[in-house]
């Protein structure tokens, strides 16, 4: 088991009710025309991206993983669980890419449903298709860190 790197365990977790509620409030502040502070995705594409990532964390299969990415899984897991923020423009798994036009309201509902499912699992860990088993702390921190990165991307 790998705990988040840095000084002590991460404190933010989507398993925590307060953090979960704060993220929901941030999502509610988004609008269909919210511009990104960086990157190429529209806000609807970002919601679709975050929903897909969360659905995989919830147990959806991750398909089409290049062999080099599978090989680097432990290194990627370490970076994902570290306290260091994601660098802007980091490449993503092919399944997570969002290049087609997306419907803001539909993708928002999809993300909220995925987050609700994750939060309802409570103190359970997760099995990620690339990273393997995650403790409840790792899963909650990793899910928060990714969502927070993209909410910051859109200024909320």
* Residue 7, pLDDT score: 34
pLDDT at 10: 53
pLDDT value, residue 15: 92
Mean pLDDT of each 10-residue bin along the chain, 156 residues long? 41 92 98 97 98 96 90 91 91 93 98 96 86 94 97 98
The number of beta carbons lying within 10 Å of the beta carbon of residue 114 is: 21
Residue-level pLDDT at 45? 98
Q: Give me the pLDDT at residue 26, please.
A: 98
The sign of the CA dihedral 84, 90, 91, 92 is positive
Q: How far apart are CA 58 and CA 52, in angstroms?
A: 10
User: pTM here?
Assistant: 0.90
**DSSP track, the chain:** --PPSSSS-----TTSHHHHHHHHHHHHT--TTPPPSSSS--HHHHHHHHHHHHHHHTT-------HHHHHTHHHHHHHHHSSSPPPTT----GGG---S---HHHHHHHHHHHHHHHHHTTT--EEETTTEEE-HHHHHHHHHHHHHHHHHHTT-
Q: Would you state the pLDDT for residue 124? A: 81
Gap between the Cα atoms of 15 and 40, Å rounded: 30
């Amino acid at each position: 088991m790998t705990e988040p790197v840095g000084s002590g365990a991460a404190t933010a977790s989507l398993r925590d009710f307060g953090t979960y509620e704060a993220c929901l409030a941030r999502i509610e502040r988004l609008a269909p025309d919210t511009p990104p502070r960086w990157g190429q995705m529209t806000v609807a594409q970002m919601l679709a991206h975050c929903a897909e990532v969360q659905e995989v964390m919830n147990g959806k299969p991750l398909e089409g993983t290049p062999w080099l990415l599978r090989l680097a899984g432990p290194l990627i897991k370490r970076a994902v669980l570290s306290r260091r923020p994601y660098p802007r423009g980091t490449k993503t798994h092919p399944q997570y890419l969002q290049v087609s036009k997306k419907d803001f309201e539909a993708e928002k509902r999809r993300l909220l449903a995925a987050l609700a499912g994750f939060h309802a699992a409570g103190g359970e860990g997760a099995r990620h298709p690339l990273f393997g088993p995650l403790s409840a702390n790792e899963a909650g921190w990793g899910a928060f860190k990714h969502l927070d990165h993209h909410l910051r991307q859109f200024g909320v």
